[in-house]
Amino acid sequence: MAPTIAPTTLLTGAFLFVLAGCAPEVPPDGANGSGPATAQAASVPVEVAHAADGRASAADPDVLDLERALALAAMPLSCVDRPHALRPDREGYLDDIAYTRRRGFEQERAFYGCWDWHSAVNSTWTMVRLLREMPELPVGPLIREKLRDHLSEAAMEGELTYLTDNPSFERPYGWAWLLLLQAEFASWDDSDARTWAARLDPATDLVAERFKAHLEELEGPVRTGVHPNTAFAVAMSLQAAAMRARPELEAALRDAAVRFFSGDRRCPTAYEPGRSDFVSPCLEEAALMAMVMERDAYVAWLDDFLPTLDSDEFASLRDPAPAGQAEGAPSEGGAVITNDSLRAALGARSHLIGLAFTRADAMLRIAGALPPDDARVDGLRELAEEHARVGFQTMFDADYAGSHWIGSFAVKYLVEAMKGDSR
């Protein structure tokens, strides 16, 4: 059992994490913030990594108490104001290309923090969902302040303009997160939330229309274990549609799921995980089909799609992916990572840590769709708990390459786990 940390230690650690993340970073001499990690990958302070990363309650990975909620809220709060790294100047074949920061981006953009656009969106969702689950959260007023700053009318007008001019930007992964964020606001009985939902409406209406058209034109699904995965985006968009009705998009999502996946058999589990996967193609597909098929038909489909839990074929999904501190990672906070190989290693490591949470989430969704007496239910829930425990134990072992986004998947898992508690 993981050691117990006093509440005051965890709360203090979480606040230290917020303060550490809000502090500006200074690149090394001669650097202009090259690459995602150069200007942004300062490692988490040692005292925070032990206090605010959820290790204290890793023995109860399906519990969202005040300590864990505050620690998880600290993650997006620490990065939401940290701008994406400035691209490095580069030398082309005939041209030299120099990048400069857009003036006034804080007023004209909403999602400019947390490393990249989709991570800023899912970090915003994380803050909102935590505040909905726990209105008494001590950092609740700070969360509302950040939401007011980032989701202003001017910022969302800027987002709409950019999305309009860049039709494939963040398709489909970022689109799905934006739909979920707006749905979270739209389904929340809160005066501020109603304002923010209305401000996000034009951008999400545009994304919903484009996603529908994209799915109708798509000849086959993307089955990768990273951002372009079709099943993940379709499933999360269906979750959003259940909270904020979008009948035309929902119909397209369901049609795409059946068209792409209903005939699949014997998912190649041996191929998982890829060295930088953060979703399981097999489990995500199985969890998606649970949303669009009747129970009896789903049970028969699942029998043919996934091997039994105790089989050799399921072993690669049964054991959490290797996780831990990447070799050569900084041991103290404040360092700016400039080594390309280390950045790549931390990025891949962060994905495998996040994979623990996305697998756990998918396993719970599959279990929830099965008959209560199905032999797989208890096994899937036990495996989900074990994966989540590993996720909480290692969620800071990839430095800022992981801490800017993994908390969102931890919260997404916890939301699903709490549904199971109420079934």
Report whether pLDDT(135) > 70. yes
Report whether pLDDT(86) > 50. yes
Please state, as a whole number, how many other Cβ atoms lie within 10 Å of the Cβ of residue 149.
Answer: 14
What's the confidence (pLDDT) of residue 134? Answer: 96
Report whether pLDDT(334) > 90. no
Report whether pLDDT(322) > 90. no
Q: Say which range, 51-55, 234-238, 336-340, has the weakest mean pLDDT.
A: 51-55
What's the confidence (pLDDT) of residue 85? Answer: 86
Q: What is the mean pLDDT of residues 401-413?
A: 97
pLDDT confidence of 55, banded at 50, 70, 90? very low
Quote the tokens at residue 94.
Answer: 């005939």
Please provide the distance, in angstroms rounded to a whole number, between the alpha carbons at the two ends of the chain.
Answer: 27
φ, ψ of residue 277 in degrees (nearest 5): -70, 140
DSSP count for the chain of H helices, then E strands: 19, 2
Q: What is the enclosing helix (H) or strand (E) of 91?
A: strand 90-91
Residue-level length of the chain: 423
Q: What is the pLDDT of residues 278-315, one digit of tens each?
A: 999 999 999 999 999 999 999 999 999 999 999 999 99
Which class for 249: exposed (0-12), middle (13-18), buried (19 or more C-beta within 10 A)? buried
CA–CA dist 362, 368 (Å, integer): 10
Q: What is the pLDDT of residues 200-250, one digit of tens each?
A: 999 999 999 999 999 999 999 999 999 999 999 999 999 999 999 999 999
- The overall average pLDDT reported for the chain is 86
> Residue ranges of the domains in the chain?
1-88+102-150
Q: What is the mean pLDDT of residues 126-144?
A: 97
Q: Could you tell me the CA-to-CA distances from 313 to 267, 282, 287, 304 in Å, in that order? A: 10, 12, 18, 13
